[in-house]
């Protein structure tokens, strides 16, 4: 008997798959298709560790499983090669991002090959390749023409270490997502994509997606819809009005002052002369602080009085107008009506500056200063004709009343901000815009794409765009008038590259269009998308936006909602010694040596066995040996059957059918760990009374997880076609239903009852069932001193 020589087996099958084009995806699938994708990796210098493998193995298991169900598969792989990680790593390694990325990709490709996945390598893409980023620039131009890309001067998040701006999504708890530095604020002209135009659709469509609830919730909270009212407050002795957005129009009678954000344009127009100096000073200071800092709830409140007053439109009372930095310019209207009795921040502000506090909602219909600020719903008080109403009802009524007087309107706001896409960094796709002295801001002509990234620059970050250093790059001519013009020197956020790559996979070689529409239509939407939870509010939101926008432009039509990812699965993280596996924590297990020692199949198996794939799991260093032994035993067993075939016994047949049912259901529900357990149980149970054909069925069940191993045994069992061209086995429901046994229950040898039980029940279970039968009264208070069980026939209780 041949021994389990995984090295030659795995090499043999990987070569054979490649030579026969086994994983080549059709351009136009003509039957059921299955597009199975992993979030494509950025090629870091560190290479892959076993935590990365987990998702790649899972997606491959699913792709192979679907292939065995006759589906046509698209399972591609590529590299998110532009961006800060590659650039920072290149700086550290004293290399150029281009050379560094090339090397990193080579290493990644080699490691990815070890997985033995059914990737169609002919479709490999690299987002830093001009053939790719040409189309990233093209998509920019499309969005620009549609008014969805624009430039504006805005206070932006600035990372002093990375020396670049960050999108809101890249700021985590006030720190740079990449390097952890405290993010500051800078006033800069930047490029934005108008994702806010899609806020409502991005939110509502979530209801139709087969995504984990947790991820949907993260997106919902990020988009954060709030329903309220826009209310106008006239400014005393002027014809000006201050508009506020409030979610609590029910508290209007309690509005005792207003606060404007320091950036609010009306401040200059209403400020009383004796307050100018103080207000100006305050504004200057506030502008240095980031929004995230300003929003922190536990900060001491600061502010200044403008000397001006407004009229509360509901009761015509005069209220003072203040400036304070806890009001943000980027949300609502940048002005707030302040209700200290019912809002914590307003309450603290009123206490500090001694402003009036009027309670207008109460839990029992009475004033109760001790419970302020009172944030809950309740009964209206101190609110004239609205007294006694529930605050919920008053919300509607007060807004209606003011709407009739044209002083208010219902309004919905979103927290979502436009996506800031320009970066003052080198390693990205140049933004295809030029500035002409005559024509101003002009988009590049499509036929001039790609705008190549120049190489004659020092790419280390200095706070200003490195592209500016290249005269050759910067100097150009205006596409409209032909006069000299300069290029935009910022590059695009890498999330722009990754917002459409899944479309390119359907037609990666196309030089005429970003991808042939028929090919996109044939493969999209993605049937299974696998990646970590960390991209919930970044990549997954951006990609949905770009798909919707391109759909609206008529460039895509595969889904009426424009949604690219039908089903999303979040893979759990791998931990080692209680910490998330990562190079920086020094707790990395690399797959290479495990593959060398135990084989790719054993590692694939352990990746699926280490825990439920939707949960984080602790890596056990020796865990892989259990899987390896299982493969080795299965190997020996199968070879024995091959050499000495017999008929399948009834007992084995039942086990086989039960295992088919169990493994099928487990894979369908992403329970790979229990699928493997069932396979182990089955082989423990089997005796050698099993036919080759029946054994082949069980080998097929193993094949998505252990593809090389299964191919080899399949061949040994006499097949000359790849196992993946065969069919997933069916089970026979009749054979699963277990047979019954009649058991005689005796007490001291006398027959007392007869029961019918499933034949697969063991002694303990039969004992339990017997003790609840009629014999209870025969035993009574007597003590059981011995139980004699004759399997499947008799159970005798000896009592005294």
Contact between residue 120 and residue 76 where contact means Cβ atoms under 8 Å apart: yes
- Identify which range of 50-58, 244-252, 349-357, 556-564 contacts ligand ANZ by CB under 6 A: 244-252
Contact between residue 25 and residue 74 where contact means Cβ atoms under 8 Å apart: yes
- The pattern of x and - marking residues 185 through 224 that bind ligand ANZ according to CB under 6 A reads ----------------------------------------
Q: Among all chains, which residue has been given the structure tokens 């910067």?
A: 474
Tokens of 212: 């984990």
Report helix, strand or coil for 1: coil
The DSSP 8-state label assigned to residue 250 in this structure reads G
Shortest Cβ 165–ligand ANZ spacing (Å): 21
Question: Taking CB under 6 A as the rule, does residue 429 contact ligand ANZ?
Answer: no
Shortest Cβ 223–Zn ion spacing (Å): 39
Tokens of 761: 């029940």
**What residues from 261 to 280 belong to the interface with ligand ANZ (CB under 6 A)?**
261
Choose the contact partner of 478 out of Zn ion, ligand ANZ, none; CB within 5 to 8 A by kind: Zn ion
**What residues from 478 to 497 belong to the interface with Zn ion (CB under 5 A)?**
478, 480-481
- The Cα 272–Cα 278 span in angstroms is 11
Question: Taking CB under 5 A as the rule, does residue 266 contact Zn ion?
Answer: no
- The Cα 581–Cα 48 span in angstroms is 11
Question: Taking CB under 6 A as the rule, does residue 41 contact ligand ANZ?
Answer: no
Shortest Cβ 335–ligand ANZ spacing (Å): 7
Shortest Cβ 344–ligand ANZ spacing (Å): 9
Shortest Cβ 285–ligand ANZ spacing (Å): 17
Q: Is the dihedral of CA 265, 267, 273, 279 positive or negative?
A: negative
Closest by CA to 549, choosing from 791, 248, 193, is: 193
Compare residues 342 and 504 and give the one whose CB is closer to ligand ANZ. 342
What is the CA 124 to chain-centroid distance, rounded? 22
Task: Please identify which residue in 359, 413, 547, 664 interacts with ligand ANZ, judged by CB under 6 A.
Answer: 413
Q: How many CB atoms lie within 10 A of CB 268?
A: 11
Beta strands at 408-414 and 225-234: parallel, antiparallel or unpaired: antiparallel
Compare residues 11 and 151 and give the one whose CB is closer to Zn ion. 151
Contact between residue 645 and residue 693 where contact means Cβ atoms under 8 Å apart: no
Shortest Cβ 432–ligand ANZ spacing (Å): 34
What is the CA 536 to chain-centroid distance, rounded? 3
Question: Taking CB under 6 A as the rule, does residue 724 contact ligand ANZ?
Answer: no
Contact between residue 458 and residue 466 where contact means Cβ atoms under 8 Å apart: yes
Shortest Cβ 167–ligand ANZ spacing (Å): 20
Which residues is 33 bridged to in the sheet? Answer: 72
User: DSSP assignment of 352-371, as one string?
Assistant: HHT------EESSSS--GGG
Phi-psi region of 47 (alpha: psi -120 to 50; beta: other; left: phi over 0): left
Closest by CA to 719, choosing from 701, 693, 698, is: 693
Tokens of 106: 């080579």
Choose the contact partner of 438 out of ligand ANZ, Zn ion, none; CB within 5 to 8 A by kind: Zn ion
Task: Please identify which residue in 327, 355, 536, 576 interacts with ligand ANZ, judged by CB under 6 A.
Answer: 327
- The Cα 598–Cα 284 span in angstroms is 64
Question: Taking CB under 6 A as the rule, does residue 334 contact ligand ANZ?
Answer: yes
**What residues from 419 to 478 belong to the interface with Zn ion (CB under 5 A)?**
436, 438-439, 478
Choose the contact partner of 590 out of ligand ANZ, Zn ion, none; CB within 5 to 8 A by kind: none
Shortest Cβ 347–ligand ANZ spacing (Å): 9
Contacts with ligand ANZ: how many residues (CB under 6 A)? 18
- The Cα 10–Cα 298 span in angstroms is 59
- Identify which range of 330-338, 498-506, 541-549, 771-779 contacts ligand ANZ by CB under 6 A: 330-338
Alpha helices (runs of H) in 50-176, residue ranges in sequence order: 50-67, 84-92, 97-114, 130-145
- The Cα 326–Cα 333 span in angstroms is 13
Shortest Cβ 337–ligand ANZ spacing (Å): 5
Shortest Cβ 435–Zn ion spacing (Å): 9
Choose the contact partner of 219 out of ligand ANZ, Zn ion, none; CB within 5 to 8 A by kind: none
Compare residues 171 and 261 and give the one whose CB is closer to ligand ANZ. 261
Q: Among all chains, which residue has been given the structure tokens 């701006």?
A: 165
Which residues is 226 bridged to in the sheet? Answer: 413
Shortest Cβ 141–Zn ion spacing (Å): 17
Choose the contact partner of 248 out of ligand ANZ, Zn ion, none; CB within 5 to 8 A by kind: ligand ANZ
Phi, psi of 242 (to 5 degrees): -105, 125
Task: Please identify which residue in 63, 314, 336, 743 interacts with ligand ANZ, judged by CB under 6 A.
Answer: 336
- The Cα 382–Cα 619 span in angstroms is 62
Choose the contact partner of 481 out of ligand ANZ, Zn ion, none; CB within 5 to 8 A by kind: Zn ion
Compare residues 266 and 556 and give the one whose CB is closer to ligand ANZ. 266
Report helix, strand or coil for 116: coil
Choose the contact partner of 704 out of Zn ion, ligand ANZ, none; CB within 5 to 8 A by kind: none
- Identify which range of 163-171, 314-322, 326-334, 399-407 contacts ligand ANZ by CB under 6 A: 326-334
Choose the contact partner of 337 out of ligand ANZ, Zn ion, none; CB within 5 to 8 A by kind: ligand ANZ
Contact between residue 492 and residue 533 where contact means Cβ atoms under 8 Å apart: no
Shortest Cβ 158–ligand ANZ spacing (Å): 21
Contacts of 154 (CB under 8 A, 6+ apart): 187, 188, 189, 190, 192
- The Cα 737–Cα 658 span in angstroms is 9
Compare residues 33 and 345 and give the one whose CB is closer to ligand ANZ. 345
Report helix, strand or coil for 512: coil
Question: Taking CB under 6 A as the rule, does residue 339 contact ligand ANZ?
Answer: yes
**What residues from 769 to 798 belong to the interface with ligand ANZ (CB under 6 A)?**
none
Shortest Cβ 199–ligand ANZ spacing (Å): 13
Compare residues 45 and 373 and give the one whose CB is closer to ligand ANZ. 373
Closest by CA to 54, choosing from 733, 572, 780, 593, is: 572
Report helix, strand or coil for 427: coil
Choose the contact partner of 439 out of Zn ion, ligand ANZ, none; CB within 5 to 8 A by kind: Zn ion
Task: Please identify which residue in 54, 64, 342, 395 interacts with ligand ANZ, judged by CB under 6 A.
Answer: 342
Question: Taking CB under 6 A as the rule, does residue 337 contact ligand ANZ?
Answer: yes
- Positions touching ligand ANZ (CB under 6 A) are 226, 245-248, 251, 261, 327-328, 331-332, 334, 336-337, 339, 342-343, 413
- Positions touching Zn ion (CB under 5 A) are 436, 438-439, 478, 480-481
């Amino acid at each position: 008997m041949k021994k389990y020589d995984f090295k030659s087996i795995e090499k043999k099958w990987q070569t054979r798959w490649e030579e026969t084009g086994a994983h080549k995806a059709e351009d136009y699938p003509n039957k059921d298709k299955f597009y199975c994708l992993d979030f494509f990796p950025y090629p870091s210098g560190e290479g892959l560790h076993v935590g990365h493998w987990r998702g790649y193995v899972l997606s491959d298991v699913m792709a192979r499983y679907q292939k065995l169900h006759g589906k046509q598969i698209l399972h591609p792989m590529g590299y998110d090669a532009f961006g800060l990680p590659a650039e920072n790593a290149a700086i550290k390694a004293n290399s150029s991002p281009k050379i560094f990325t090339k090397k990193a990709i080579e290493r990644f490709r080699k490691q990815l090959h070890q997985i033995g996945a059914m990737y169609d390598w002919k479709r490999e893409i690299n987002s830093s390749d001009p053939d790719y980023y040409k189309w990233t620039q093209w998509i920019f131009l499309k969005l620009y023409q549609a008014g969805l890309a624009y430039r504006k001067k805005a206070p932006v998040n600035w990372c002093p270490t990375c020396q670049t701006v960050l999108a809101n999504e890249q700021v985590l708890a006030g720190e740079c997502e990449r390097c952890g530095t405290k993010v500051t604020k800078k006033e800069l002209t930047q490029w934005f994509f108008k994702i806010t135009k899609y806020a409502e659709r991005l939110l509502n469509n979530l209801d139709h997606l087969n995504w984990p609830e947790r991820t949907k919730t993260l997106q919902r909270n990020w988009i954060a819809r709030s329903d309220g009212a826009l209310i106008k407050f006239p400014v005393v002795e002027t014809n000006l009005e201050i508009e506020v957005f409030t979610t609590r129009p029910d508290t209007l009678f309690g509005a005792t002052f207003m606060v404007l954000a320091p950036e609010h344009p009306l401040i200059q127009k209403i400020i009383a002369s004796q307050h100018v100096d103080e207000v100006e000073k305050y504004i200057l200071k506030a502008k240095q602080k980031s929004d995230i800092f300003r929003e922190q709830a536990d900060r001491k409140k600061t502010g200044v009085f403008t000397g001006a007053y407004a009229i509360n439109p509901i009761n015509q009372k005069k209220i003072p107008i203040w400036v304070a930095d806890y009001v943000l310019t980027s949300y609502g209207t940048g002005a707030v009506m302040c209700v200290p009795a019912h809002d914590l921040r307003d309450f603290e502000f009123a206490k500090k500056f001694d402003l009036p506090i009027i309670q207008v909602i109460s839990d029992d219909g009475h004033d109760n200063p001790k419970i302020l600020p009172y944030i809950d719903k309740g009964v209206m008080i101190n609110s004239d004709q609205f007294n006694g109403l529930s605050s919920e009802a008053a919300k509607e009524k007060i807004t209606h009343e003011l709407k009739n007087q044209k002083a208010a309107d219902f309004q919905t706001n979103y927290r979502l901000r436009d996506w800031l896409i320009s970066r003052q960094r080198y390693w990205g796709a140049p933004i295809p815009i030029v500035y002409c002295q005559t024509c101003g801001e002009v988009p590049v002509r499509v036929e001039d794409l790609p705008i190549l990234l120049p190489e004659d620059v020092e790419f280390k970050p200095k706070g200003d765009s490195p592209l500016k250093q290249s005269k050759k790059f910067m100097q150009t001519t205006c596409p409209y008038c032909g006069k000299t013009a300069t290029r935009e020197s910022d590059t695009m956020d890498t999330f722009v590259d990754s917002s459409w790559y899944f479309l390119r996979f359907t037609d990666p070689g196309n030089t005429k269009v970003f991808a042939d529409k028929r090919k996109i239509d044939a493969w999209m939407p993605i049937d299974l998308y696998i990646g970590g939870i960390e991209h919930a509010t970044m990549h997954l939101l951006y990609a949905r936006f770009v798909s919707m926008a391109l759909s609206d432009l008529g460039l895509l039509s595969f889904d009426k909602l424009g949604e690219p990812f039908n089903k999303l699965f979040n893979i759990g993280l791998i931990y080692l010694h209680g910490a998330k596996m990562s190079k920086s924590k020094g707790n990395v297990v690399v797959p290479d040596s495990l593959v060398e020692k135990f084989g790719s199949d054993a590692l694939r198996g352990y990746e699926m066995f280490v825990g439920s794939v939707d949960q984080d799991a602790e890596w056990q260093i020796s865990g892989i040996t259990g899987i390896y032994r299982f493969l080795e035993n299965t190997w020996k067993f199968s070879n024995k059957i091959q050499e000495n075939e017999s008929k399948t016994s009834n007992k084995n047949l039942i086990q086989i059918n039960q295992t088919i049912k169990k493994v099928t259901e487990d894979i369908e529900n992403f329970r790979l760990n229990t699928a493997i357990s069932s396979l182990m149980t089955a082989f423990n149970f089997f005796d050698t009374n099993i036919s080759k054909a029946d054994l082949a069925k069980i080998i097929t069940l193993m094949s998505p997880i252990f593809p090389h191993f299964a191919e080899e045994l399949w061949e040994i069992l006499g097949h000359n076609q790849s196992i993946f061209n065969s069919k997933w086995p069916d089970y026979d429901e009749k054979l699963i239903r277990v047979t019954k046994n009649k058991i005689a229950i005796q007490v001291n040898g006398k027959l007392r009852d007869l029961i019918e039980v499933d034949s697969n029940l063991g002694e303990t279970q039969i004992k339990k069932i017997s003790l609840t039968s009629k014999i209870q009264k025969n035993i009574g208070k007597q003590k059981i001193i011995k139980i004699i069980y004759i399997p499947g026939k008799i159970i005798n209780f000896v009592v005294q």
